[in-house]
């Protein structure tokens, strides 16, 4: 039986964010900056690790 490769969701989102940066240099690193700021806010709010992960993923995709 052939196993499908497992791609971690976070790595997939980082790759997608980087690809978007290549398409539009005007917003280069914008998604990563928003994700970082969102993580800092979520951390200050003392949200759970799972919630912080979801917020970071959402922030990285907010313009898609």
Query: What is the rounded average pLDDT of the residues 28-54?
Result: 93
pTM, two decimals, is 0.74
**In sequence order, what DSSP letters do the residues of 32-58 get, joined into one string?**
HHHHHHHHHHHHHTT--HHHHHHHHHH
Give burial (CB, 10 Å; 0-12/13-18/19+) of 8.
exposed
Query: What is the rounded average pLDDT of the residues 28-50?
Result: 93
pLDDT tens-digit readout, 13-31 = 888 888 887 887 777 788 8
């Amino acid at each position: 039986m052939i196993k499908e490769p497992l791609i971690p969701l976070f790595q997939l989102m980082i790759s997608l964010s980087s690809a978007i940066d290549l398409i539009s240099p005007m917003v280069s690193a914008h998604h990563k900056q928003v994700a970082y700021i969102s993580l800092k806010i979520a951390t200050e709010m003392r949200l759970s690790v799972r919630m912080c992960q979801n917020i970071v993923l959402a922030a990285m995709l907010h313009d898609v």
